[in-house]
Every structure is written in C-alpha cells, then in structure tokens.
A and B are shown apart, each in its own frame.
Chain A
Amino acid sequence: MDPVSFWATPVGWTLITVGQILLITVGVLVGVAFLLLADRKVWASVQMRKGPNVVGPFGLLQSFADMIKFVLKEVVIPAGADKAVFIIAPIITVILAFMAWAVIPFAPGWVVSDLNVGILYIFAVSSLGVYGIIMGGWASNSKYPFLGSLRSAAQMVSYEVSLGLIIINVILLAGTMNLSKIVEAQSGYFWNWFAFGGGAGTWPLVVILFPMSIIFFISALAETNRPPFDLPEAESELVAGYQVEYSSTPYLLFMMGEYVNIVFMSAMITLLFFGGWNPGFLSQSFLEGLPAWIAYTIYLLTFVTKTVFWFLCISLVKAFVPRYRYDQLMRLGWKVFLPTSLVAVVIVSAWRVFVVGA
C-alpha cells in the first residue's frame, strides 16, 4: 500500500487531522506561554520595572513555572457553588479558544479545516466564548463574580455587532468567507492589504478601511476583555470579576483561554486587514520562484511576526490606557462603533456594486 492511498483512507485521514490539531494546540500553547511573558515584560518596561527575570535566562521559563504552580495547588470549590457548572465553565472557555484556531491559515494550505464559511465559524465560536464567563460567574454563587459575568455578557454581545459589521466589509471586498481565499486576495505588495484599500480598483477605500481596521483592533480589545475594557474583572470594583472564586487549575484554564483568545484576535487582525502570510514587500512571482521550503518559511514567519506585533500592541494598550467606565464602554460600542461600521458597510458595498462591478 503506497502512502498516498493510506492518508486518503478514513484511518489515515483521522490520524493526520489529529496530528494537525495536536501540532496547532501545542504550538499555540507554547507560543502563549512566551507571549504571556512578553506581555508582562512590556507592561513592566512601560512602568520602568524589570518584570519577571528570575526563572531561566531573562525569566524565559516564568510561564512554565507559573503553570506548574497552578496545577500543584488545591482546587477550592465554594460550598454554595453549582459544582458541575463551576467546573465546566473554564473547560468550555479553553476548548472554544482553541476551536477557533481550526480555520486559521498559517501559510498557503496550512490549515486544519479549510471551511468555506470560515469567518462565520470564527464568529460562531467567539460568540460562544461568553458562556464560559457567564457560567463561571453564575455557578460561583457569589456577588462579585455574578456582576462581572453580567457585565461581560453585555459587553461581548455588544461589541460582536460592530466586529461583525467590520468583517462584512472584508467579505464584500474579498468576495468569499474562506479565510485562505481572503488572504490570497491580499497577495503581492502591501497596498493590496485590505487595511490599505485592497489594491487596484478599490484603493480609494483606504479612507474607510484603515479606520475600520483600527476600530476592529479596539473592538477586539473589548471582545477579549482586555484593558481598557476589562470591566468584567475590574479589580478596583469587582475584585477579579468572574474569576474571584476560582483557584488552581480552573483559574489557569480561564487565564489560558483568555490569552489564547487574545493571540487569536491578533491573528484575525493580521488575516483580515494586514495580508496574513503575505510579506508585502516581495512580489508574488518572486515568492513562487523560490524553493518551496524557503517560501513557506517566509510565509510562516511573516504570519507569526504580524501576529506577535498585534499582540504587543494589545499589551502596550494595557500598559498605558486607563480603564473605561461601564456606561462609556456601552456608549462607544453602540453609539460610535456601530453607526460608523454600518456606514462603512453601505459605502463599501456601493463601491463594490457601482464602481468595481459585481
């Protein structure tokens, strides 16, 4: 039996898919471990501290030490808690955070599931993310977690609306919901990226799309409950929001899910607006002329670099923007972002129909 036919059989197909899933899960986990450290280092250097620097060289192993500490601690479940829901909540958060990575293309063809409705899938999974927080807050049977989870539910549902409308702009320009094809539509030089108008025919739309990419970035902060929109866990008012009653491994799962989501959102900004795996300064024909392994290394490194760049932007925002008040957060979401992105959708679709042609 030659290997090609084996990988096409159900067994081979299952094996290769499980292998891909494991590769991405482990890759993202290790990446998150170092990005968490990077987050703390960035935060520290803005405040002119050194940050974690004891475990390993430059504190590189800090995240792993933290993980071992969390796992070895005792799991405390409050007496009044709804035990089943209390335990399920962090698990759901982590599973959903990883599920979304299934449709992220790291390089041409390097994706676990090349769904035609990739963007909708991401949208569906991220809209489920709110359940982990709501269930955790409710099951704790305590005031602060409950308030935190209520805030979070309202916040995430509100900002999803503007995220969805901004994504519609990109779908209209690319003409597909498949993430790989959206990135292919931005191939070539950087002026083909959707943040800079999407190349020939639609370049005047840069006036709309560049602000849209910034609004997407801000909405992503709100969607992942990052500062300045970390109202669900605002430590000055709610102690730590929905996480108050959590300890040990369940808490670790919540925190891991949160960081995986943040990295995921950075990847989304990269894919939708900043060309995904396309380096932007090399021509498409030059890249295709290179040996495959060099080209794919360039693609992968480009994608990772861009994602890390956006992650560092998110950590910088955490370091120097003060927290929003809750009503201001809602005002920004519903009265500023929603109308703006709605107008953008109208203009972009009009341009698509009357200037570019269907």
Chain B
Amino acid sequence: MLQSIAFFLLAAVATVSGLLVVTARNPVHSVLWLILAFFSSAGLFVLLGAEFLAMLLVVVYVGAVAVLFLFVVMMLDVDFVKLREGYARYLPFGAIISGVLLAEMIMVSVAVVQGGATNGRTPVEPSLDVTNVQAIGRVLYTDYIYFFQAAGIVLLIAMIGAITLTLRHKPHIKRQNITDQVNRDRNKSVEVKSAQSGQGVSAEELL
C-alpha cells in the first residue's frame, strides 16, 4: 500500500520532470528538472531494495555529473528566443526518432519476456542476511572481474585522453613553486653590502 503510493508518486515525478527537461524554456531549468528526474529514479531504486545503486546514482550523477552540466549550461550565453525558433521545424524529426526508440524498446522488452533469460522464472527475493554492497561485491569481483577491470581501463584511457587534449604548457607563464617559496630564507633573499661613507653604492654594484 505505502509502497505503491511511493512508487506512483516517484514514477509520476520522474516522468513529468523528464518531460519538463525537454519543454522547459530555460536550459538551466532543464538541467534542474533533469536532476529531479535522477533523484526520483534513485527513489525507485530504493523501492526495489537496491539502496546501494540508489545512493551511487545520487552521488555520481546528481552530485557530480549534473553539477558539471549545470556549470556548462550556466556559462553559456544563450538567446532563449533564438533557441525556440527551431522547435516547430525539428518537431517531426524528433517525433520520428522517439517513435522508433519507443517501438524498439517495446519489441526488446517483449522479446526478453518471451525468450530471454527471465523467461519462465520468478524473480528471486534478495536474501536478508547479505547487504546490497556485499551482494554486488561478490559477483563484481568474482564472475565479472575482467569486465570490471576492462571498464576501469577504459575510464583511465578516457581520463588520460581528456588530460592530454587540454593540457598546454605555456612557456611564458610565471608559475608558483611552493617548495621554493617555503625554502626561501634570509641568505637567499638578502645581501648585505657595506657602503663607504660619502661614496654610497652605485647601481651596478647592487646587481
């Protein structure tokens, strides 16, 4: 009872905010609606008993990825009127694509129900003595260890790629070297010159 109320509430919020991502006039509002959609989907995960995945969704997508989205969108100097101009022109195109996607997803789900791995099997209740984290860890680090490692390597390569693409050594920039600054002492920075009275010190001597 309570669970179904929560499900319909979360599902409705997720769907409506997903719709508003597309229709919102202001791109920043779109991103904010997207965050709400992520958050409600995390709630759906909790209802399924997958609290670990729910928390990961919030930490990774809402807490990090969406912040960067928001960052980029806020920095853009967008003309909202111009942005709306293409709406009617691209509407049929968008409708075709979403129609094709919908048809494909329905076909795939029907195929999975009829002939896929879950065919004729009832879902297994998660055992209560094993927490989410342990359950995922047991398969992730045993059966799927190679895929897991491969995914890690792909991410590492992507990270190195992003760094090499953006890293530029500019030669004329003065950089701060903290160790040099910390190790600087009186002997390195001050030199005592004895000036003869009546003669002073000439500029050349100071160099």
Binary A-proximity of B132-162 (CB < 8 A = 1, otherwise 0): 1100000000000000000000000000000
Instruction: Please give, as numbers and ranges, the residues of chain A lying within 8 Å of B37 by CB-CB distance.
Output: none
CA distance A131 to B1 in the complex (A): 33
Binary B-proximity of A115-128 (CB < 8 A = 1, otherwise 0): 11100110110011
Instruction: Please give, as numbers and ranges, the residues of chain A lying within 8 Å of B58 by CB-CB distance.
Output: 124, 127-128
Number of interface residues of A (CB under 8 A): 25
Instruction: Please give, as numbers and ranges, the residues of chain B lying within 8 Å of A124 by CB-CB distance.
Output: 42, 55, 58-59, 62-63
Selected from B28, B35, B67, the residue in CB contact (under 8 A) with A157 is: B67
Given A85-B32, A116-B131, A117-B51, residue A123 in contact with residue B67 (CB < 8 A): no
Instruction: Please give, as numbers and ranges, the residues of chain A lying within 8 Å of B1 by CB-CB distance.
Output: 10
- Are the CB atoms of A117 and B74 closer together than 8 Å? no
| Contact-size category for B | 20 to 34
- Among B26, B74, B178, find the residue whose CB has the most chain A CB atoms closer than 10 A: B74
Given A138-B28, A177-B133, residue A117 in contact with residue B52 (CB < 8 A): yes
A/B pair count, beta carbons within 8 Å: 68
- Are the CB atoms of B67 and A121 closer together than 8 Å? no
- Are the CB atoms of B2 and A10 closer together than 8 Å? yes
For the A-B complex with A127-B63, A150-B74, A157-B63 known, give 18 more contacts whose Cβ atoms are closer than 8 Å.
A82-B28, A85-B29, A116-B131, A116-B133, A117-B52, A117-B131, A120-B55, A123-B59, A124-B55, A124-B63, A127-B58, A128-B62, A131-B70, A135-B32, A150-B71, A153-B67, A157-B64, A327-B176
Instruction: Please give, as numbers and ranges, the residues of chain B lying within 8 Å of A174 by CB-CB distance.
Output: none
Contacting residues of chain A (145-168) with chain B, CB-CB under 8 angstroms: 146, 150, 153, 157, 160
A130 within 8 A of B: yes
- Are the CB atoms of A160 and B55 closer together than 8 Å? no
- Are the CB atoms of A117 and B132 closer together than 8 Å? yes
Instruction: Please give, as numbers and ranges, the residues of chain A lying within 8 Å of B56 by CB-CB distance.
Output: 120
Nearest CB of chain B from residue A250's CB, rounded to whole Å: 18
The binding surface of chain B is classed by DSSP as helix
CA distance A117 to B176 in the complex (A): 42
User: Please, could you name 11 A-B residue pairs with CB atoms under 8 Å apart, sorted by A?
Assistant: A85-B29, A115-B51, A116-B51, A116-B132, A117-B131, A120-B52, A124-B55, A127-B62, A128-B58, A153-B71, A177-B133
Given A116-B131, A138-B74, residue A123 in contact with residue B55 (CB < 8 A): yes
- Are the CB atoms of A128 and B51 closer together than 8 Å? no
- Are the CB atoms of B59 and A127 closer together than 8 Å? yes
Instruction: Please give, as numbers and ranges, the residues of chain B lying within 8 Å of A160 by CB-CB distance.
Output: 63-64
Nearest CB of chain B from residue A164's CB, rounded to whole Å: 8
Nearest CB of chain B from residue A112's CB, rounded to whole Å: 15
Identify the closest chain A residue to B131 (Cβ).
A116
CA distance A117 to B1 in the complex (A): 25
Contacting residues of chain A (100-125) with chain B, CB-CB under 8 angstroms: 115-117, 120-121, 123-124
- Are the CB atoms of B67 and A130 closer together than 8 Å? yes
A134 within 8 A of B: yes
Nearest CB of chain A from residue B178's CB, rounded to whole Å: 8
CA distance A127 to B61 in the complex (A): 10
- Are the CB atoms of A128 and B63 closer together than 8 Å? yes
CA distance A128 to B66 in the complex (A): 10
Instruction: Please give, as numbers and ranges, the residues of chain A lying within 8 Å of B71 by CB-CB distance.
Output: 134, 150, 153
Identify the closest chain A residue to B58 (Cβ).
A124
Instruction: Please give, as numbers and ranges, the residues of chain A lying within 8 Å of B52 by CB-CB distance.
Output: 117, 120
CA distance A160 to B178 in the complex (A): 24
